[in-house]
A and B are shown apart, each in its own frame.
Chain A
Amino acid sequence: MSRITALLLALTLLPALPARAGEVAALLRKADAFRLAEGNLSVETQLETFKSGVLDKDRRYLVYVKPGRRSLVLSRSAVEKGQKILMLEDDFWMVLPSSQRPIRITPAQKLLGDAAAGDVATMAWADDYGGEVAGTDEVGGVPCQRLALRARRKGVTYQRIELWLARADAHPVQADLYVASDKLAKRATFALERVEGRLQVSTMTLVDQIQANRSTVIRYLARHPRTVPEEFFNPMFLVRNEPREQP
């Protein structure tokens, strides 16, 4: 290919790139809408961990979500009672009931254990990821667009995601989740249910790709529009008293 031909080809393709990026952002926003309505929410979440198909752990969380990549995860299970994780953009704090102080934690510490706090608290891709439409596939009989996504900021739980969205309405069907070492950590599949006339992701199943026979099922038991005080998202407020859901 001569230099002139290559230049002409580049000039022809360049205007298309922002359009592709815009298309991906629009698709992600559509996909996010199946997981999380926009605005302030409280989400009651159940997290079950299975080993070789046998239930190993059952945890409950209450998650407050605010715009601007802010979320607060409150443990509701006896084993983790009083434990709180606060995520403000790329910064994270944990409060353990035994210490009564907010402890700064690294993004890697969010991944401790079978269930990453990020899996529970992060319910939107559009703000955190960018990429391209990498092709089309059929997953579980659903025609899908495959998106190749990369994290646009530090602190996200997964650095790279391959995401399959239904061609019909962009609902999430499957996601391959890669950690910083570019190792495939988990494969997520999504089940949808109609709630109050709106189709929503009701369950996310994460199959561990590193530890064999491990899987985690995250059920979104209830989502409520809730505006909690700004103070709930101040690390120092967390030791004051456990925030209660405000009607």
Chain B
Amino acid sequence: MTPARATLALALLLPGMAAAFDPSGVDVEVRLRAAPEGSWANDTSPFAPAAALTGLGAERGRGEVEARLRADALTADVAWRFTSLQGRQPESAAVLNELFYDAEPLGQHLTLGKKVLSWDVGYGFRPLDVIQQEVRRAFLPFALEGIPLVAWERFGERSATTLVWANPLRGTAPSPRDDESVALRHYLRLGGLDLHLVGRWSRRTLGQGGLAGAVVLGEAVELHASSLYQRRLERAGDARLDPGAPPLAADDPARLRVSSDAVSALAGFTLTPGWDLSILAEGWIDPAAATAAEWRARADLARRQGALLSDPGVPREVVLGNLAWGARAFDARNLVRGSTYLRVTQRWDRLEPALDLLWTPADGGLVATAALDWEGERWRLGAAARIYGGARNAAARLLPQGGAFTASTELRW
């Protein structure tokens, strides 16, 4: 948020804040989290020589102090975050995750400020999160940072409507979370079925529309599915992958690839057969992600670039820089277009072991995570380890890190 916009937001919020302030009704919650992290390298990755430039596998820890304050209709969530990368100075930043005022003039529900918006019913992938998008692969993701918005809501007995003006007056921006847009979500409870209809329009991405549903069958089965149609789909491309293009670029080779009429979809279920056991399985298609063929092409390109490292006529920095540009493909929300996800957890009193498997059938990639959490009254301790593997040219196998591990501590008061 620019200083001018922050000032405007504060000017709009201050009257509400003053009216809302009642010391007896102030509710404060503080959470402190710290997680040292380590990883081991995947020397077989063609991107490995540039690992130090990309930061992939260099995470050595992250931490966050988050304070959430609520005074009647006013909510604020601020965080101080730090990250540590190998070979670099630790970085820290203060982030205003949320600051919003829930006003109710004339029986209407209005929200003004910065707020987290989560609209989808899925876990591994969330097509209907058309504005807010979560980072799904982080071991210990930071608290979500909200979207500047003005929202109007209406609640019926079995329905709810939310109309959002996101990033007001901001104009177009590359990321949906920063792009000015108008979005509508309508919720219906049809018998035991939760139905969500979502639409979004922005000058940049034009129209999007989607549908999601969730239902519980019997005592132990929950089903959910969602799908989103996008009139204009933007994908990350690479000019060096164009036919006949040279393997090394002098300038940033990132190219925006635009296509029309794309559909993303997710379906999954949760099974709770008893014994405090929970099984979540999902499958999804993300047309913004790369195909297995594109990953093969990226791997081939990286190998050709790597071969140039032994060529004395080619500056090493140029090759490493080009490899690092290519490695930005790992920042994608989904690495591969089709994914399947399985999560099994079981609660043993205060202990909760969990196993996560992400398998991408098209390229044979696999990401496996095992975690163990212990939850006390105020403390939560955790440990997790993750391995990336699969077929030779699978996206997960091409990562310059072979795996990672972490131990986390969380204190709440």
Contact = CB atoms under 8 A, between A and B. Distances in A.
Contacts of A98: 143
B102 interface: yes
Interface string B203-230: 0000000000011101111101000000
Interface in A105-121: 105-109, 111-114
B75 A241 contact: yes
B349 to A, nearest CB: 8
B144 interface: yes
Nearest to B221: A106
Given A101-B119, A230-B157, A234-B160, A91 B216 contact: yes
A106 B270 contact: yes
Interface string A93-134: 000011111001111110111100000000000000000000
18 contacts: A58-B377, A79-B377, A79-B412, A106-B221, A108-B219, A108-B273, A112-B276, A154-B219, A181-B274, A230-B157, A236-B155, A236-B162, A236-B187, A237-B155, A240-B109, A241-B70, A241-B75, A241-B102
Given A106-B216, A106-B221, A240-B111, A112 B194 contact: no
Nearest to B126: A101
A69 to B, nearest CB: 14
A93 B340 CA distance: 25
Contacts of B162: 236
A198 interface: no
A57 interface: yes
Interface in B111-170: 111, 116-121, 143-144, 153, 155-158, 160, 162
Contact of A234 (B68, B144, B156, B412): B156
A231 B160 CA distance: 9
A97 B97 CA distance: 13
Contact of A242 (B70, B216, B221): B70
A81 interface: yes
A82 interface: yes
A99 B273 CA distance: 24
B278 interface: yes
A107 B216 CA distance: 9
B406 to A, nearest CB: 17
Interface of A: 57-58, 77-79, 81-82, 88, 90-92, 97-101, 104-109, 111-114, 154-155, 179-181, 230-231, 234-237, 239-242, 244
B164 to A, nearest CB: 13
A112 B273 contact: no
Interface string B55-92: 00000000000001010110100000000000000000
B111 A100 contact: no
A240 B349 CA distance: 31
B160 A104 contact: no
Contacts of B349: 114
B304 interface: no
A99 B157 CA distance: 24
Contacts of A79: 375-378, 412
Contacts of A99: 118
Contacts of B412: 78-79, 81
Contacts of B413: 78
Contacts of B294: none
B216 A92 contact: yes
B160 A90 contact: no
B29 interface: yes
B231 to A, nearest CB: 25
Given A79-B378, A242-B70, A106 B111 contact: no
Residue from B73, B102, B116, B215 whose CB has the most chain A CB atoms within 10 Å: B116
